[in-house]
Amino acid sequence: MKDKILISEVGPRDGLQNCKGVMPTDVKKRWVKGLYDAGVREIEVGSFVPPKLFPQLADTAEIVAFAKTLPGLTVLALIPNFRGAQAALDAGVDAVTLPLSASETHSLKNMRQTHDQVIENVKSIRTLFDASSNPPRFEAGVSTAFGCSIEGHVPEAKVISLGERLVEAGVDELGLSDTVGYANPLQIKSMIKSMRDAVGQEKVKSVHLHNTYGLGIANAFSAYEEGIEVFDSSQGGLGGCPASPGASGNIVTEDLVYMFEAMGVDTGIDLDHLMACRKYLEEGLPGEPVYGFTPNAGLPKTYSVS
Amino acid sequence: MKDKILISEVGPRDGLQNCKGVMPTDVKKRWVKGLYDAGVREIEVGSFVPPKLFPQLADTAEIVAFAKTLPGLTVLALIPNFRGAQAALDAGVDAVTLPLSASETHSLKNMRQTHDQVIENVKSIRTLFDASSNPPRFEAGVSTAFGCSIEGHVPEAKVISLGERLVEAGVDELGLSDTVGYANPLQIKSMIKSMRDAVGQEKVKSVHLHNTYGLGIANAFSAYEEGIEVFDSSQGGLGGCPASPGASGNIVTEDLVYMFEAMGVDTGIDLDHLMACRKYLEEGLPGEPVYGFTPNAGLPKTYSVS
């Protein structure tokens, strides 16, 4: 198994998007810088969506510009459509991620797009990026890949078929997203294996997990065993879904780093330094609940900095 | 991998032992009955320890007598020494578990016994049980097997050597206990494999996990992959250790059942019924915090009763 993995911090996008408060731009920059100083080398810094819908992410272009000054950091942004892709290209991101919800009901509700429409968007965006001298890496995240709070069960075959269509339409990589936290560790292994068999091992590098049922870290371990090397997570488990009572946010970056480092798997992240960055959440989002077993318990005696 | 596992509920012992309040005996009986009705088939109902030290468990003999009226339930109790073994035998338990702390510092602090003293106790208890017409199953739990909050790192070789001595001294089975929640999933696999190599596969059946660093469920999954078939857990994650700030209790039974059933692994437990038993905690231990992602989120659409 791999002795090094990459943690892709999604708090500034997935986390903030689901918070009631709006983090001030200057705090957001200090948070991004703090994460970088702690050793985080990929951050999803925002989303190119209409500011009217997501005022929390209205400063994404400015955050991208700031994050691009940090050497060696992969600056990622979410894009919902062609217009977002254009804005991301103009802002100079290193990578974009476009979500396609395997549950078409969810896709219509969340993005107002059918599967066919999303695939057409991907083709147009591929053309746009191919015409650029410096195209970003183009990822698609297959969301609700392990179940949907509206449709319920999502068949694996449907997810695989959508993955194939996305790759054919021109994305560089696929991520598998457990948007509502329904996945279990055996399902994770099965889906990764099937998707890799379908589109090629090198195309399936990342998982995006939520912790609604407390299985998020177990799912991450299972994905690691299956060869996944990029893990999305959010500092303090920020996020959650306002539409799903009891649903929790992304898996907690602090706990994820703890697990990998305790196992001797290098994340490149200094956990003490990372935990200190929780102060930016308190400053920029006063009253917002933050989570994490490791920050609550404090590092154990057996933990040694790698 | 196994399509059926056993969950051994330890809330009435490990949970209650670490709570400030004392659950009234009649509530405890209704809780045990409720767990049984939900499908739980092994319960650690108490501990034969001095009532002055643990008033929460002073009614253990009465709870054993009650639990023994429930057909098919394995009634387990903890014993710290020979006197406890005698009391357990008199009470008619089905099984006893005796802890030996791999960290000798912890053993002296917790049980006032050196390793040699514990091994001598095991030999005496074996003799006692062999003279009985109906001896209980005799387990030993190797506690702090994955690290100790006092000693820190506990070498695997030391744990294995103690396991060998316990088996030689006459225990029927060994459990591996992550008393302070320091274990990680790779360490779990390595320890199970090494211990089974040393004492025989059939002797190592159970793990006892805590969730201090949020890795408890991931550790359970890892142990399942390694062939473990008995998992200790506590309803509501009851417990924790008053001496360890931030330390959390046992892994949450509700979340553990959720994971296994979601993976198609039969626990025999009706999760709705199990979650309804949380009312006994509220009644018998008002104000005591209870945990669990699954109870907070509610069962998802994809969950079907097995």
Among chain B residues, the shortest Cα distance to A146 is held by: B302
Closest CA to B63 of B100, B22, B111, B5: B22
**pLDDT reported for residue B241:** 55
pLDDT in tens, B176-207: 999 989 999 999 999 999 999 999 999 999 99
Tokens standing for residue B15: 């949970």
Tokens standing for residue A278: 């929780």
Residues of A with CB under 8 A from a CB of B: 147-149, 151-153, 180-182, 184-187, 211-215, 217-218, 220-222, 244-248, 252, 255, 258-259, 262-264, 292-294, 296-298, 300-302
Strand A173-178 to A137-143 pairing: parallel
State the smallest CA–CA distance between residue B213 and chain A in angstroms.
Answer: 5
Using a CB-CB cut-off of 8 Å, the residues of chain B touching A221 are 185, 218, 221-222
| B207 touches B231 (CB < 8 A) | yes
| B215 touches B223 (CB < 8 A) | no
**For chain B, what percentages of helix, strand and coil (3-state, to nearest 5) are there?**
45, 20, 35
CB atoms within 10 A of CB B129: 19
Cα angle for residues B61, B64, B65 (degrees, 5° grid)? 90
Task: Please name the member of A152, A244, A300 whose beta carbon is closest to the beta carbon of B182.
Answer: A300
Could you give the angle at which helices A156-169 and A115-130 cross, rounded to 10 degrees? Answer: 30
3-state secondary structure of B25: helix
**pLDDT reported for residue A305:** 54
Q: Report ipTM for this prediction.
A: 0.95
State the smallest CA–CA distance between residue B279 and chain A in angstroms.
Answer: 19
* Cα–Cα distance, A24 to A283 (Å, whole number): 9
Task: Please name the member of A218, A244, A293 whose beta carbon is closest to the beta carbon of B248.
Answer: A293
* Cα–Cα distance, A68 to A83 (Å, whole number): 21
List, in order of start, the domains of chain B with CATH numbers: 6-297 (3.20.20.70)
**pLDDT reported for residue A246:** 47
CB contact under 8 A, B293 and A248: yes
State the smallest CA–CA distance between residue B74 and chain A in angstroms.
Answer: 28
Using a CB-CB cut-off of 8 Å, the residues of chain B touching A245 are 297-298
Per-residue pLDDT of chain A (306 residues; tens, 9 = 90+): 899 999 999 999 999 998 889 999 999 999 999 999 999 999 999 999 999 999 999 999 999 999 999 999 999 999 999 999 999 999 999 999 999 999 988 888 888 899 999 999 999 999 999 999 999 999 999 999 999 888 889 999 999 999 999 999 999 999 999 998 999 999 999 999 999 999 999 999 999 999 999 999 999 999 999 999 999 999 999 976 544 444 578 999 999 999 999 999 999 999 999 999 999 999 999 988 888 999 988 898 788 754
* Cα–Cα distance, B199 to B196 (Å, whole number): 5
B241 assigned to active site = yes
Among chain A residues, the shortest Cα distance to B189 is held by: A263
Residue type, A254: E
3-state secondary structure of B119: helix
pLDDT in tens, B108-160: 888 889 999 999 999 999 999 999 999 999 999 999 999 988 888 999 999 99
CB contact under 8 A, B296 and A180: no
pLDDT in tens, B282-300: 999 998 888 899 998 889 8
Tokens standing for residue A92: 């100079």
Using a CB-CB cut-off of 8 Å, the residues of chain A touching B211 are 293
| B9 touches B43 (CB < 8 A) | yes
CB contact under 8 A, B300 and A264: no
Tokens standing for residue B30: 């209704």
State the smallest CA–CA distance between residue A295 and chain B in angstroms.
Answer: 9
| A247 touches A59 (CB < 8 A) | no
Best to test chain A binding among B182, B301, B303, B306 (most A CBs inside 10 Å): B301
Q: How far out from the chain centre does Cα B174 lie?
A: 12
CB atoms within 10 A of CB A192: 20
Best to test chain A binding among B213, B250, B257, B271 (most A CBs inside 10 Å): B213
* Cα–Cα distance, A234 to A237 (Å, whole number): 5
State the smallest CA–CA distance between residue B13 and chain A in angstroms.
Answer: 23
| A244 touches A208 (CB < 8 A) | no
